[in-house]
Chains A and B, each alone.
Chain A
Amino acid sequence: MSYSLSILTIVLIVYIVISVALYYLQDYLLFKPEKLDEDFQFAYENQDTKEYYMETRDGAKINGLLFKSKNQPKGVVLYLKGNSKSIKGWGKFAVDFTRHDYSVFMVDYRGFGKSTGRRSQKAIKRDLQEVYNKLKERTPEDHIILYGRSLGSGFAAKLASINNPKLLLLDAPYYSLTKVTGRYMPFMPLSLLMKYPLPTYKWLKYVQCPIHIIHGTHDKLIPYKSSVKLSQVNAKRTKLHTVIGGGHKNLNNFESYHSMLDDILNSEPKLIDLETTSINVIHSSKKNKAKV
């Protein structure tokens, strides 16, 4: 009796210790930032860039880089990157939008690259809204595209839920970050522990612009099915694009991915004349039987 009781106590203590450790270590587990010196010079081949700093109310510094399109820009893409490194490396993806004559604004979250400040979900949300406001001063809102990749997809969805951008583009998004984490730590009380729950599914509901979701079928980190689920939240406005065979980090190596971007950025939504379709035709054998 006392033996099993002490085992139970030990298990409980271990569980609590792990929970506490998770609570304090989650920043290290979730974010893999690369710090950059303040005098680091961004340089990209064939890209014309301009660096920006923004000071926040709480004294943090947010660093961002504008990639200018060669021709007159059709708009600007606010690019919210994944959880690793800094915009130094992520900059190579800007070309996927500048080639369509969209300029790209990439920001480093607090603690990434040259950005400083104490990180929290709330603080990042606030920073990004301020960045968005700055973009809005220069570009009409209906020419701003919100792009979020992996970790960034939650923040992009949040911004889209309280603003009126042209469209929201989510690349390998999650249903909620709590859910992703839950796959790796199935028995932990994550809803209590997570400082970054990032409930994308909740935010998508309030989005009023077109939503495009791109996901690879072979994504091992965030399963494809989370995008299927996400696409049902605001189905009327959502289009789900499937990169067959695509993983979590290699979508840009698929031709289909770039043709999706082409479609999303360059085609106008087409209205379907439902009158000329079969939409209200009832096709049921049961009904006929009932008549007889």
Chain B
Amino acid sequence: MISTSLYFFQDKILFRPTVLEQDYQFEFSHKFEELFLKTEDNAVINAVHFKVENPKGVILYFHGNKGDLQRWGDITEYFVDKDYDVFVMDYRTYGKSIGVLNEDALYKDSEFIYNYLKTQYSESDITVYGRSLGTTFATYAASKHNPKQLILETPYYSMIDVAKNRFPLVPVKQLMNYEFPTFSFINRTNCNITILHGTSDKVVPFSSGQKLFKVAPDATTRFVSIEGANHNNLIDFEAYHREIQAILQ
């Protein structure tokens, strides 16, 4: 019973988009450009591109599983304040983005967006940032290119690993339509990686982030535990600010 309902509702559990009208006007406190990018399979990816004067670089931000660009634009303005350009997109079915949702398409979109950004910046200026669900796309994009660095906030080993933890008695592996095997991408990267994870994370367990760290390239990866933080409040911790300040100086 639980298994069956999990099977049918997994998309609803995993993806929590909010949809925006196509003519919705974003409101942010920094200057931005709004884009609609058409993919090979005719999906439309809506993105917001914050631009500052004399940027220190650009952050390609892959957001979490909840909400739309209005919410995530607000969140990522934190980096705009640090004199970085920020590029953040809504995944298919989120906000104003349209398209058929499946695992493969999401990877392709992440690469498509990276390639778009590459036409405007040199790769040594691109920092790829992933948060929660988005960490897998960030890692995938980084594995296919040579960005300056990769930052992963509360990442997971694979979505199956997270689901196993949440539903210990359910045969999640057989039921899940999405795997998101970040562990299979992370060793394919060549750039510096910083993993940030709260020790009290109840959504993506701290142990899943550590497990990912163990299979990441030794020479380039650092793991930063944020003592006492849970899944959504790293920003409230001094340790997080210190770390971000150091790697984005």
A and B interact physically: yes
Which A residues contact B (CB, under 8 angstroms)? 129, 161-164, 206
- Decide: B187 and A163 in contact? CB cutoff 8 A: yes
Which residue of chain B lies nearest to A132 when distances are taken between CB atoms in the complex? B187
CB distance from B178 to the nearest CB of A (A): 14
Residues from chain A with Cβ under 8 Å of B20 in the complex: none
Some 12 contacts from A to B, beta carbons below 8 A apart, are A161-B184, A162-B183, A162-B184, A162-B186, A162-B187, A162-B188, A162-B215, A163-B187, A164-B143, A164-B188, A206-B181, A206-B184
Residues from chain A with Cβ under 8 Å of B188 in the complex: 162-164
CB distance from B188 to the nearest CB of A (A): 5
Residues from chain B with Cβ under 8 Å of A129 in the complex: 187
CB distance from B40 to the nearest CB of A (A): 15
Residues from chain A with Cβ under 8 Å of B184 in the complex: 161-162, 206
When chains A and B are docked, how far (Å) is the Cα of A164 from the Cα of B145? 12
0/1 string, B136-171, CB within 8 A of A gives 1: 000000010000000000000000000000000000
When chains A and B are docked, how far (Å) is the Cα of A162 from the Cα of B143? 10
Which B residues contact A (CB, under 8 angstroms)? 143, 181, 183-184, 186-188, 215
Residues from chain B with Cβ under 8 Å of A162 in the complex: 183-184, 186-188, 215
When chains A and B are docked, how far (Å) is the Cα of A129 from the Cα of B186? 13
Residues from chain A with Cβ under 8 Å of B186 in the complex: 162
CB distance from B77 to the nearest CB of A (A): 35
When chains A and B are docked, how far (Å) is the Cα of A206 from the Cα of B188? 12
CB distance from A108 to the nearest CB of B (A): 23
Residues from chain B with Cβ under 8 Å of A164 in the complex: 143, 188
When chains A and B are docked, how far (Å) is the Cα of A33 from the Cα of B5? 52
When chains A and B are docked, how far (Å) is the Cα of A161 from the Cα of B143? 13
When chains A and B are docked, how far (Å) is the Cα of A206 from the Cα of B183? 10
When chains A and B are docked, how far (Å) is the Cα of A220 from the Cα of B41? 47
The 9 closest A-B pairs by CB, nearest first: A206-B184, A162-B187, A164-B188, A162-B184, A161-B184, A206-B181, A163-B188, A163-B187, A162-B188
When chains A and B are docked, how far (Å) is the Cα of A164 from the Cα of B144? 9
Which residue of chain A lies nearest to B183 when distances are taken between CB atoms in the complex? A162
Interface centre among A162, A163, A206, by most chain B C-beta atoms within 10 angstroms, is A162
CB distance from A287 to the nearest CB of B (A): 27
Residues from chain B with Cβ under 8 Å of A161 in the complex: 184
Beyond A164-B143, A206-B184, list 12 extra A-B contacts (CB 8 Å). Answer: A129-B187, A161-B184, A162-B183, A162-B184, A162-B186, A162-B187, A162-B188, A162-B215, A163-B187, A163-B188, A164-B188, A206-B181
When chains A and B are docked, how far (Å) is the Cα of A239 from the Cα of B215? 29
When chains A and B are docked, how far (Å) is the Cα of A161 from the Cα of B187? 9
CB distance from B11 to the nearest CB of A (A): 21
CB distance from A143 to the nearest CB of B (A): 16
Interface centre among B181, B184, B186, B215, by most chain A C-beta atoms within 10 angstroms, is B184
Residues from chain A with Cβ under 8 Å of B143 in the complex: 164
When chains A and B are docked, how far (Å) is the Cα of A163 from the Cα of B216? 11
Residues from chain A with Cβ under 8 Å of B215 in the complex: 162
When chains A and B are docked, how far (Å) is the Cα of A164 from the Cα of B184? 11
Residues from chain A with Cβ under 8 Å of B183 in the complex: 162
When chains A and B are docked, how far (Å) is the Cα of A14 from the Cα of B133? 50
Which residue of chain B lies nearest to A206 when distances are taken between CB atoms in the complex? B184
Which residue of chain A lies nearest to B187 when distances are taken between CB atoms in the complex? A162
When chains A and B are docked, how far (Å) is the Cα of A280 from the Cα of B181? 33
When chains A and B are docked, how far (Å) is the Cα of A206 from the Cα of B157? 14
Residues from chain B with Cβ under 8 Å of A163 in the complex: 187-188
CB distance from A98 to the nearest CB of B (A): 28
When chains A and B are docked, how far (Å) is the Cα of A129 from the Cα of B214? 13
Which residue of chain A lies nearest to B143 when distances are taken between CB atoms in the complex? A164
CB distance from A81 to the nearest CB of B (A): 23
Residues from chain A with Cβ under 8 Å of B181 in the complex: 206
When chains A and B are docked, how far (Å) is the Cα of A162 from the Cα of B158? 14
When chains A and B are docked, how far (Å) is the Cα of A163 from the Cα of B185? 8
CB distance from A167 to the nearest CB of B (A): 15
When chains A and B are docked, how far (Å) is the Cα of A206 from the Cα of B143? 13
When chains A and B are docked, how far (Å) is the Cα of A129 from the Cα of B187? 10
Which residue of chain B lies nearest to A162 when distances are taken between CB atoms in the complex? B187
When chains A and B are docked, how far (Å) is the Cα of A51 from the Cα of B211? 35
Residues from chain B with Cβ under 8 Å of A206 in the complex: 181, 184
When chains A and B are docked, how far (Å) is the Cα of A164 from the Cα of B215? 15
When chains A and B are docked, how far (Å) is the Cα of A122 from the Cα of B204? 25
CB distance from B105 to the nearest CB of A (A): 15
When chains A and B are docked, how far (Å) is the Cα of A206 from the Cα of B139? 14
CB distance from A133 to the nearest CB of B (A): 8
